[in-house]
Structure formats: C-alpha cells, structure tokens
Structure 1
Amino acid sequence: MEKLKKNMVLPMEIIDLNSDGNGVGKIDDFVIFVPMTAKGDKINVRIVKVLKNYGFGIVDSFITASPDRIEVDCPYFRQCGGCALRHISYESECQLKHKMVSDCFERIGGISCQVSPLVENLQVNHYRNKAQFPVTRKDGKAVAGFFANRSHRVVSCDNCLLQPEEFQPIVDCVLNFINEFQIPVYDELKHQGIVRNIYLRRGEVSGEIMVCLVLTKDFLHHQDILIQRLLDCNPQITSIIINCNKDKTNVILGKHCTTIYGKDTILDQLCGVPVELSPLSFYQVNHNQAERLYDIAKEYAGLSGGETVIDLYCGAGTIGLSMADQIGTLIGVEVVPEAVENAKKNAESMELSNTRFLCGDASQAVQVLEQEKIHPDVVLLDPPRKGCSQQVLDSVCHMAPERIVMISCNPATAARDCKMLDEKGYQVQKITPVDLFSRTLHIETVILLNKEC
C-alpha cells in the first residue's frame, strides 16, 4: 500500500480505546487514533496527521456502528472537553476503565495482582457538587460554559448533564446581571476585563450552595442587586463570595476571598465527618461515590482500634477522620494551611482527642515524624495526579508501616509508585477502581500494600 498521506480516506476498524478516549485502529499495522469512536466501529477514516510511528484521523463516514455506541444525549459533546465517553454505553465505559487500571499496573508497574471489579457509579448524571464556568463574550453578550478539549476556547453550554440541575438558573442569573449592567468580561489575551469565572459549590447533605465570582477586582458594582436576585433565584444559597484573581494566569482562583453575603463557608458531611468548604477547599466532587471510596480504604486499612495512622496529603482530614473511631492515633499531613485549619476544626467538632495535623510538604513532614521516632502501623497516601515523590516513598518505607493504603486519581502514577514500593518490600495485595467521574476518562483507585515478612 502507498504511504499514508493527509486527507486520504480509507476503511478501518476500531479495535480498542486508549487512555485519552481515542479509538485505536490499524492500516497495514500502522496505528491510527480516531476521537469519538467506539471499539467495534467500522469506519472510513480521513487521515489528518501522519507521524513517524502513528497517525491521527477523523470519521469520514460509518460503515458499521459498534454495539457499544449509543445516541449522545448532550448537544455540546463534540465541542466541549468535559465528557469523553458519552457516546458509548455505561457498561462499556466501566469495562474500559477497569482495563485502563489493569493495563497500567501490568505494563507500568509490572504488577500481576488481579484488579477487583470496578465500583460503578449509581448516578451517572448530575453527580458533581462543584462547577467552574469560564465566562466569555459572544455576539456582544456574556456567556458561560466549558473549555473545548485541549484549548482555552469557551463552549457555551446550558444544563450540563454532569452538574446539579440547580446550577444552571444561578449561572443564568449572573449572566443576565452582567449583560444588564454591562460588566466587562475578562479577555485573557488582552488581560483586560473583570469577570473571569462563575464558581459554584453545593453541599450534598446540607443542600447549602456557594456562589463564588472570580473577578480581577475585590468588589462588583451593583452587587447588592445581584445578591438579591441570587437569593430570589435559589434560597439555598447561603454564601456569596468574590475571589480576586488579578494575575495573568490560567489558574482559576486567586488567593484572596471577600464574602459579600452570608457565610465564608458552606457545610457538608462525608462519611460522618463534618466538612467546611471555602472556595479554596479540596473536596471530592462526587459525594456519594467518595463515601464508597473511603469505605474501601477503611476496609483495606484493617484497623482494630489501637493503630497509629499517618494520613499524608490529608486535605481537610476527611479520609483519616472517617476512620478515627477505630484508630489509636491519627496524624494528618497537608501543605495547604487553610486545609489544615479545616481538619483541626473538623476533629474538634467530632470531639476527637486522638488526632494531630501538621502543615507542610509531605516529604519534609515525614522526615519530622521519623525524627520523632513515630512508627505508624498504617500510612494513607492520597497524592495529587503526579503521584508521590521518591523522597516521600523512601521516608514512608523507612518508617516501616505494616500496611500502606493508596488512593490515586491517576492509575499510571499509582502503578509507578507501587512498583517503587514493591522494590522496597511492599507487595500489592488488592486493587479496586472506583468510578467517581462517569462519562469522563478519570478514575479513582484504592490499593492495599502489605509489608513483606
């Protein structure tokens, strides 16, 4: 066959999906990646880019659709970068995510431990308790939506199926106010304008809603009118905040918040732990699945009541505090000062006397605990997507806990870290993926590692 060239149209079958959600096919053993396809699709693919070892294509037409393919229920699917898997059945999505985790541990970690069945999401739509809507101007009016995949182009989006249904009327209320009073919308190329983002949070148990406007100023003209309109729109709004971000950056939130109505935080409860949420607080976006995730972590910790547990990357302390009634001593470590203060308040409100929270980088804090001759029975690891540093892993192993329980939002870095832990005498015993982010490519995984005798 002649060499593949751009704009050639050729028949091809999709034989797999990769970790980016793209279909994988082959033409004479040359791999072609095609977005928005499903395993089993037979297509005519139009080649759009050819590299040395692989290429990219788009669907020119369908020959035969895969049995995994379903009718897309969102009109913004092809433009918005939020959902990558809305075109396949949820059963197929779960199979794909289980395979993603298994492949990472086998290929990256060299670990043969069988992966337990994925814990499916019982609510695949409207499960998020947080949304951040970038604001832009289109045809002379302010609109809000989400960024298109791999870009900073805002796709206007109404009634996102991942968000609570209460959110859209609130967004509309803010946009109507911006348009009526001609509040300038931020232009990131010119670094001009005021309104950058509309950021909403909701407490699953409390029902309380926070409205946070990310602005380039710490005040808003006519804000009293906006406050009243928001309260009329939804009486569950208990906190309205301005977050000031003047920096030329793609980071959404600035460091300074001003409360213009109600409380500085909203309340919620997760696994029996009271939680105060500010705009800057980390919190799992899927409350109900997070409780199932933490229950598995608690089971893996194997607690009997007298253990010393170190909770690294503890955030507001939710994971460790959810186990605190079965722990002898709990020590939490977190780098964000506000989160540490939240963790301490949460422990106080639970009337716990067996907890201690340290503010600092995980690797430095672990060294401090080592110097104090702390010998944990269990270490909980809940690292960011980049995983744990070598220094953290070395220090954890030096403290020689009997068990390590890792909760990871990135199976690739989890597999890498587990491989390093295996080399230091910790063997993976159990792996359970949990679907917190249905219709997207993200997946959480809980891993148990035991110290070899």
Structure 2
Amino acid sequence: MAKQTAPVKKNETITLNFEDLTHEGNGVGKINGYPLFVPNALPGEEAMVKVIKVNKNFGFGKVLELIKVSPERIDPVCHMNCNGCGLQHMSYRLQLEMKQNQVKNAMKKIAHLEHVPVHPIIGMTDPLHYRNKVQIPVGEKNGELITGFYQKRSHRIIENTETCTTHNETINEVVKEVRSIAGKLGIKAYNEEKHSGVLRHIMVRTGDATNEIMVVLVTRTEKLPNKEVLIKELTGAFPNIKSIVQSINDKRTNVILGKRTKILWGEEYIYDKIGDLSFAISAKSFYQVNPEQTKVLYDKALEYAQIGGEDVVIDAYCGIGTISLFLAQQAKKVYGVEIVPEAINDAKKNAKLNGIINAEFYVGEAEKVMPWWKAQGLNPDVIVVDPPRKGCDEALLHAMSDMGPKRIVYVSCNPSTLARDLRILEDRGYEAKEVQPVDMFPQTGHVECVALMSRINR
C-alpha cells in the first residue's frame, strides 16, 4: 500500500479557511481533510498561511495575511509576544464559548459522559487585571536590568511586562520599582549560562481585600548587596508592603523558589479574605491567583457538597486550608490532608485565625492517609478533592470510592484529567451529576471546573 503523505509541504504558502478552535485557542483549517493548527486565527476567517511544520496526521502554520476577518476578532490590549495571554485577539464571548466547548468535548470524548450537564461557564465582568501573584525573571541588556516573561519555548526575556493586562496593576508598579532600585544599586541579574549574578526572579503577591503586598526576591547568593537601601526605598515607595522575603536558590534549575527563605523586612505573611474568611499567605503558599473567581468557584463547590450540620468531610489536597475552612462553616468535622508540611502549618494557622475548631489537618499523601483513616473507622459523608493539573493518582480515586461517601466534589484546573478521573469514579460506583466551568484565567486557554458525583445505591 502506498504511503500516505500530507497534502501540504513545509514552507508552502496556502489559502486556508478556518472552521474551529483547539483547546489552546489555535485556529483549525483543513486541506483535503488534513488539519492545520494556526495561532491567531478564528473560525469563519480566511487567511494566507505559511506551513511551518508537517506531521503525518496534522500540521502547523502561521498567519501571513488575513483575507476575511471574523466579527469576534478584537485588537489585543497587549501586543507583546510572551504567549502568556494567547486569546487576547478574540472577544471575551468567544473565549468563554471556546472553554465551554473544551469542557463538553472532554466529558464526551474522554469520560464518555454525554448525559452529564455542563452548565454555562461563569465568566468575569472585567476579564483584565485579575492576577494577585506574579513571578518575573530578571535579566540584563546593554548593562541594564530588565524584567519580563520568557518568550515561548525559549529563555529570552521579553521586556516591559509592567504593562501586563492580567496582573493587578499594583503588581506591575512594584515590579518596575524593584527593577529600578536594584539597577541603581548595582545588583546584578542572574546569568543562567554562567551561573553568576544575584537576582533571579521578582515575585509579588497582593491581598485583594486588604491591599497588603509581599515582595519576594529570588537570589542565587545569600548576600544581597545594599539590601538596607533597597528595603528603605521600596517600602517608602509602597507603604502597603508588609513583607519582603529573600528566597535563596543557588541551583542550576528552572524551579523558581529556593529551599531556603528568610524575612528581610516585615512579616512572614500577608493577609487576604475570601468571603467571611481570612487567610495568611506566605511566600510558598498555594493560593488561587484570581480572587473574584475564587469566591465563585468555592461557593459552587460548597453548593455541590450539600453539607449538613452532622456531616463529616475530607478535603484532599487541602493546601493552606482555603476550601477546608469554607466547608467547616457548615460541617460537623473537616479533615484536610496535604503532602506539603508548610501548607499544613499554614492551614492550622488559618483555622486558628478564623476561630474554626472543627477542622484538623494532616501531612501526607492522600492516597495513603485515607485508607488509614478508613481503618480507624472514619466514614466521610463528602470528599472534596482539588488536585494539580495532572489530576488524581488512580490509587487516590480508589481510596475515595472505597470510603463510600455520599458525594464527591472534584475541583479541577484541567478538563482532560477531570474527565479521565470521572470515568474511573463512574466505574467504581459513582455517577457524575453536573459540571460547572468557571473562567479563572481570562485571556488564556485554561479553565477551572467543579464536578459533582453521587454514590449509586445498589
């Protein structure tokens, strides 16, 4: 049988009509049934496209010239090429539609759960300037300090990210000021090729409800030149700074924060509120970056959990206790488990901060701790799980279903792994009831979801 070849060749220029979007927001056009994925192209558009890569079953291209323009195309607020906000060229309405379809497709094609309602995605009124945390690499150009984001698939810094439209505007100002002061004081940027220099990253966190600011300076060296002057000038420029932290990372690594941190000035924590609850946030705390939508997400998780005053709840991947403490307001008892000891310390601090005495927190792997709890006679009514993008380990899914809770509430930042895990839980005696997408990351292809599963009583 003759070997099938693609109908296009690399570097060929073609005219292409676009009919769909990938889950990353790339336009999809077809030549004789062969799909080409092209960034910055929208359904309904026609463009001159250069083919840049050809695989057996699909290829990639780039737009040279738009011939027909979609009414959903808008002028991006930001024209930088850092690829952090790959959807800025499409209307917010289309962004939400794309994410809604992404979740629906995952439920259909991966979970095979076409019957499960995927509710209309909850978007933002203003989908800009929502991030309360950023981590910005520092470099040098012509002897001057520069800050920015790495260009996609490279370590070349794209400058001027103090204009980034997803950041809280205060954060942009703080990063600019840190760079200016550090440059004036002669603090050298880290050079990853030579493993030399001092300042690697600038991290800034803000409390949305409190306006408190934390600045984390990630350095290669323990010594930070002229730190007293830097602290004085920075706190003088921003009186809301409550914490300046140094994170020492002397390794050749892409990991941003080092294992050692020390407080240079102020407190170890800043504070924020979600609803009626207060949270202490340290340099290493996992805390959702979109405060407005976090409240929406957690309210939905609480609604799905349907907790009564006599219910016992387990929160797997509890982090610093954000969801746990929401649950504890309604439950008889909440047990949180998390593998990161510092997070559990923060969770205990946050429970005390809010006067919550019916939440207990444990360090460990949830898939190992939960079978031990079961052996001790713990029978939860509800389990809430909020795993990282890779989803749940299958052993954890087995541990959850073996405990037999009435409901499982799954909070997910990746529809594909959510769908995979829901399928496993379906096969272990649970039924997926509904899924609610929430847009936590406007201008990007990411989408958060809350899913409800109920035990099938046989």
Shorter-chain TM-score range? over 0.9
**Alignment correspondent of 1:105:** 107
Amino acid at match of 1:60: L
Superposed CA deviations along residues 398-448 of structure 1, whole A, max 9, x for unmatched, are 100000000000000000000000000111001000001000111100000
Query: Superposition pairs for residues 304-453 of structure 1, below 5 Å?
Result: 304-453=308-457
Partner letter of residue 233 of structure 1?
A
Equivalent position SS for 1:363: helix
Aligned residues: 451
Shift of 1:349: 2.3
Structure 2 residue matching 1:383: 3-state secondary structure: coil
Q: Report the equivalent of 1:134.
A: 137
1:177-326 matches, cutoff 5 A: 177-326=181-330
Q: Is 1:151 paired with 2:154?
A: yes
Match of 2:252, SS state, is: coil
Q: Tell me the residue number matched to 2:174.
A: 170
Q: Which amino acid aligns with 1:152?
A: H
**Contact 2:313 / 2:335 at 8 angstroms: preserved in 1?**
yes
- Cα distance in 2, alignment partners of residues 168 and 228 from structure 1: 19
Q: 1:3 to 1:104 in 2, by over 3 A?
A: closer
Does 116-125 or 381-390 show the bigger shift? Answer: 116-125
SS of match in other structure, 2:389: coil
Q: 2:124 aligns with which of 116, 121, 124?
A: 121
Q: Structure 1 unaligned runs (5+)?
A: none
Q: Offset at 1:21? A: 1.8
Given that 2:412 and 2:450 are in contact with CA atoms closer than 8 Å, whether structure 1 keeps it comes out as: yes
Letter in 1 for 2:88: R
Equivalent pair of 1:219/1:242 in contact (CA under 8 Å): no
Contact between 2:134 and 2:167, CA under 8 Å: does it hold in 1? yes
Percent identity over the alignment is: 39
Mapped to 2, the partners of 1:225 and 1:435 lie a distance apart of: 41
Q: Structure 2 residue aligned with 1:63, among 67, 82, 86?
A: 67
CA distance in 2, matches of 1:15, 1:427: 34
Aligned residues: CA RMSD = 1.3
Superposition deviation, residue 38 in structure 1 = 1.3
Tell me the TM-score normalized by structure 2: 0.96
Residue 158 of structure 1 deviates from its aligned partner by 2.9
SS of 1:281's equivalent in the other structure is coil
- Cα distance in structure 1, aligned partners of 2:345 and 2:10: 56
| Structure 1 residue 286, shift from structure 2 partner | 0.4
Query: Quick check: 1:81–1:150 contact (8 Å CA) kept in 2?
Result: no
Deviation at 1:3, TM superposition (A): 4.0
Matched letter for residue 93 of structure 1:
Q
User: 2:178 aligns to what SS in structure 1?
Assistant: helix
**Alpha-carbon distance, 1:85 to partner:** 0.3
Task: Give 1:228 deviation, angstroms.
Answer: 1.3
Q: Is the 8 A contact 2:171 2:206 kept in 1?
A: no
**CA distance 1:351–1:3, change in 2 (3 Å):** closer
TM-score by length of 1: 0.97
Q: Is the 8 A contact 2:314 2:335 kept in 1?
A: yes
Q: Is 1:37 aligned to residue 41 of structure 2?
A: yes
- The alignment partner of 2:360 has SS state of strand
CA contact (8 A) 1:142 1:185 kept: yes
